[in-house]
Chains A and B, each alone.
Chain A
Amino acid sequence: MGTEAAVQMKGITKCFGATVANNNVDFELKHGEILSLLGENGSGKTTLMNMLAGIYYPDEGQIFVNGREVSITSPKDAFNLGIGMIHQHYKLVDVFTAAENIILGLEEKGGLDRRAVSAKVKEIADRYGFDIDPNQKIYEMSVSQKQTVEIVKVLYRGAEILILDEPTAVLTPQETDKLFKVMKNMKADGKALIIITHKLNEVMAVSDRVAVLRKGVYIGDVPTKDTDPQKLTDMMVGHAVTLNIDRPQYDKPQERIEVQHLTVKDAEGVSRLKDVSFNAVGGEILGVAGISGSGQKQLLEAIAGLQPAEPGSRILFKDEGGKEHELLGKDPLSIAKLGVALSFVPEDRLGMGLVGNMDLTDNMLLRSYLTGRSIFADRKKPKELAQKVVDELEVVTPNLQTPVRKLSGGNVQKVLVGREISMNPTVLMSAYAVRGLDINTSYAIYNLMTEQKMKGVAVIYVGEDLDVLLELCDRILVLCDGEVSGIVDARTATKDGIGLMMTQNQNKEKEGQS
């Protein structure tokens, strides 16, 4: 271990198509320190680290490990340099034991001596204070135990530099504390650690230094003791940008949806939404802001009838005549019939709502095949609708018979949003509608939302970009860790304020504990 840095990255640039994920990033990690890599979603944190782990290869720039320039082209190269990354999605074989997973693919001499492997695993576990049973099967483990296996796997291979990609996203506060203790033990042992996160309280709790990325650009780094959450938020979100999105006011607002004490738990019993209450009003765009995974998906799905809620939750829908309908317990079809439309654009874009191998007409048909008197599906109207969507939204497609998966991402999203709008909904929910779209297409979609709003539709818009939310929406609901940390007027709110609210609850929680 010399005086040189454990890792040094110089002038790293990485592009995916036209998107620049990392732009001329200089980055340094010292031995025996815990560095937080902080940034919003899509700021290029994971991409940067994947280049250290051998998943991606930089387009430009140099990487030095222990002062020596290296070229990392595969995960194996990274292992050989002592770099180990613990990904968000664990790479484990379910039916194998912890020990079997740990030695998987290793070219050690001798046969498969399970007892010797278990002993070595135990030794590593004892040294750093892990709690692990080498003979337990992965499918019997909790998420945090699986994470432990991943970390031990990396240590078993002799890693000196560990990268943890949002390790606490799936952990309970107690498990998080345990993880932090182990991380500090590893640091004391001379290992260098990077923790990728967007949770400010964790940055403050565990790291020695913070490096901030924003939109692929390295903003800078500060020692943790010299900073505070407010300063870090400023570095993370930057200054507000004016986008000039048209925001007219609708004169006859009417309440459409009232959500009361909505609580949703996932299959593992972890709360994804905690006591969420708000209302959505016709003629208004309600923005939902929050770090990804704060419960946005569960919220929309609960309203659309795709997500069961805990007892005590209520979601009321108010129709034209002012009559109230309880949406919880209704199936998605009858909710859609009431006029609640959901267009959710997931990371892979096609995942929800459209069938990739079907053409435009058939995808329109998905919404209407149950109507009509004949036993045969009526293809004429869906075809007209498809044509209308193509014309009005300027969808670029050779013809209506093209399978949707062959369209570019933006056009796929237009088809999806266009179809949902064509249902003449009274409530329109849209999540990440502009994900990966260029500026012009994004504006086309914003205009569609505004148009719907001016028709008296209650629009719920889940977005990633705070600048857009501030200019497009009337009100913004901020989610943090499944809880509502506030509902603000978008006309008067500031970017800093919302940024802080997105991380606020965690801080409160911490204060409450100490």
Chain B
Amino acid sequence: MTNIVSLLQAAIVFGTVILFGATGEILTEKSGNLNLGVPGIMYLGGIAGLVASFFYEKGNPNPNVFVSVFISFIASFAAAFVGGLIFSFLTISLRANQNVTGLTLTIFGGGVANFFGGSLNKLAGGVGQISVATASGGYRATTPLASLGAVGEVLFDHGFLTYVAIAVAVLVQLFLDRTRAGLNLRAVGENPGTADSAGINVTKNKYLATCIGAGISGIGGLFYVMDYTKGTWANDGTIEGLGWLAVALVIFATWKCVNAIWGAYLFGLLSWMYFYVPGLTRSSQEIFKMLPYLVTIAVLIVVSLRNKKENQPPASLGLAYFREER
């Protein structure tokens, strides 16, 4: 019983990181931009939040929880937003290849984050010595509901970002489905020429969706740093792995945020399963870690076989748009 509870808890924590990543990427891809820089953007979001709280708490003898949480959140979103801006400028304004730009952004984000993360460790006096106790405590604070037995532990023993992730996913889905702006944005991702001739500003839509999407993805990195690893920095490349899982989750969810919510927790469950299956050797553990990717491939196959248009990626995903090509 305790095993199941802790597996579910771990799955939800894990799922929250990639749910942020996937929600942001769905918003981006709906505008027709395939941003493969998600891992890099999550790196940027993570390190920016950490740096912001670190310096605030270092310079203040009595750091305020709300201030520390607030500035790290803003810093994280802003850094990721800038990552999205770089991608947008290169691919929308300069019409660079989206795949190449995204992969480069992943490498760039990882490099920048690990550079600052390493420096931060040095400033703090060694690996594992970074202290952002106030902010991390704020992110991980739970409500009294958490003590309601097993149900409470599974559902309510989490920091507030866990619930923000679900709320953001639902809101993005509502925006895409139920508003005129969402309809226009989807039109841009499906057929920018049509959108353009209907008087929709293609460039503006792509920029906004990509930058805000990147900001949302970046919060996934912040959650990882503040909640998952409790306010430390390790140059172990975990964020990158989670970033790629977020990209896989977008495909798994067939570009629907609502599917991404349960998909994220399923991915979490599958990723942590090895820990709870008795009698596994190190090598057989790795097979279990493959499961999220196998499931994604299975979904891709099923979706392709069914060939239902609604489950396909946005029609002009990954393509640059020039008006003159009409």
| Residues of chain A having any CB pair with chain B under 8 Å | 55, 75-76, 79, 91-96, 100, 103-106, 108, 111-112, 137, 139
Contacts and interface: CB of A to CB of B under 8 A. Distances in A.
Given A104-B198, A105-B195, A94 B190 contact: yes
Contacts of B42: none
Nearest to A76: B199
Interface stretch (B44-52, B127-135, B177-185): B177-185
A108 B181 CA distance: 11
A348 B255 CA distance: 34
B190 A95 contact: yes
Contacts of B200: 104-105
Contacts of B258: none
Given A93-B190, A112-B183, 8 more contacts: A91-B191, A96-B187, A104-B200, A105-B199, A111-B180, A112-B180, A112-B182, A139-B309
Interface string B197-232: 111100000000000000000000000000000000
B236 interface: no
Chain B CB within 10 Å, residue with most, of A79, A94, A137, A139: A94
A104 B194 contact: yes
9 cross-chain pairs, A with B, having the tightest CB-CB distances, nearest first: A105-B198, A91-B194, A105-B199, A105-B200, A104-B198, A93-B190, A76-B199, A112-B180, A93-B191
B193 A103 contact: no
Contact of A75 (B182, B184, B199): B199
Given A75-B199, A137-B309, A95 B315 contact: yes
B200 to A, nearest CB: 4
Chain A CB within 10 Å — which of B178, B190, B199 has the most? Answer: B199
Contacts of A105: 184, 187, 195, 198-200
A92 B309 CA distance: 15
A95 B180 contact: no
Given A91-B194, A111-B179, A104 B184 contact: yes
Could you tell me the dominant secondary structure of chain B's interface residues? helix
Contacts of B315: 94-95
Contacts of B312: 95
A100 B309 contact: no
B179 A95 contact: no
Contacts of A92: 191, 194
Interface residues of B, number: 22
A75 B199 CA distance: 7
Interface in B227-250: none
Interface string B160-180: 000000000000000000111
Interface of A (DSSP majority class): loop
A324 B89 CA distance: 61
Contact of A104 (B178, B179, B195, B309): B195
A113 to B, nearest CB: 10
Interface of B: 178-180, 182-184, 186-187, 190-191, 193-195, 197-200, 309-310, 312, 315, 326
B217 to A, nearest CB: 24
Contacts of B178: 111-112
A104 B183 CA distance: 7
B194 to A, nearest CB: 4
Counting chain B CB atoms within 10 Å of each CB, the highest count among A55, A95, A106, A111 belongs to A95
Contacts of B190: 93-96
A100 B190 CA distance: 13
A75 B315 CA distance: 23
B309 A94 contact: yes
Contacts of A75: 197, 199
A127 B198 CA distance: 24
Contacts of A93: 186-187, 190-191, 194-195
Given A75-B199, A79-B199, A104-B184, A91 B179 contact: no
A112 B195 contact: no
Contact of B309 (A95, A106, A108, A111): A95
Nearest to A87: B197
Q: Chain B CB within 10 Å — which of A79, A93, A112 has the most?
A: A93
A16 to B, nearest CB: 13
Contacts of A79: 199
A55 B323 CA distance: 11
A85 to B, nearest CB: 10
B30 to A, nearest CB: 11
Contact of B310 (A91, A95, A104, A112): A95
17 contacts: A75-B199, A91-B194, A92-B194, A94-B191, A94-B315, A95-B309, A95-B310, A95-B312, A95-B315, A96-B190, A104-B187, A104-B195, A104-B200, A105-B195, A108-B180, A111-B180, A139-B309
A112 B178 CA distance: 6
Most B Cβ at <10 Å: residue of A105, A111, A137, A139: A105
A57 to B, nearest CB: 14
A106 B183 CA distance: 11
Contacts of A106: 180, 198-199
Contacts of B179: 111-112
Contacts of B182: 112
B110 to A, nearest CB: 32
Contacts of A100: 183
Contacts of B184: 104-105
Nearest to A92: B194
A308 to B, nearest CB: 22
A320 B147 CA distance: 93
A75 B196 CA distance: 9
Nearest to A110: B180
Contacts of B187: 93, 96, 104-105
A452 B36 CA distance: 54
Contacts of A91: 191, 193-194, 197-198
A104 B200 CA distance: 8
Nearest to B315: A94
Contacts of B193: 91
Nearest to A95: B309
A512 to B, nearest CB: 39
A42 to B, nearest CB: 19
B183 to A, nearest CB: 6
Nearest to A137: B309
A486 B182 CA distance: 55
B158 to A, nearest CB: 33
A29 to B, nearest CB: 22
Nearest to B177: A112
Contacts of A96: 183, 186-187, 190
B5 to A, nearest CB: 42
Contact of B180 (A76, A103, A137, A139): A103
A139 B184 CA distance: 18
Contacts of A55: 326
Contacts of B180: 103, 106, 108, 111-112
B47 to A, nearest CB: 38
Most buried by A among B179, B200, B309: B309
A112 B199 CA distance: 17
B32 to A, nearest CB: 12
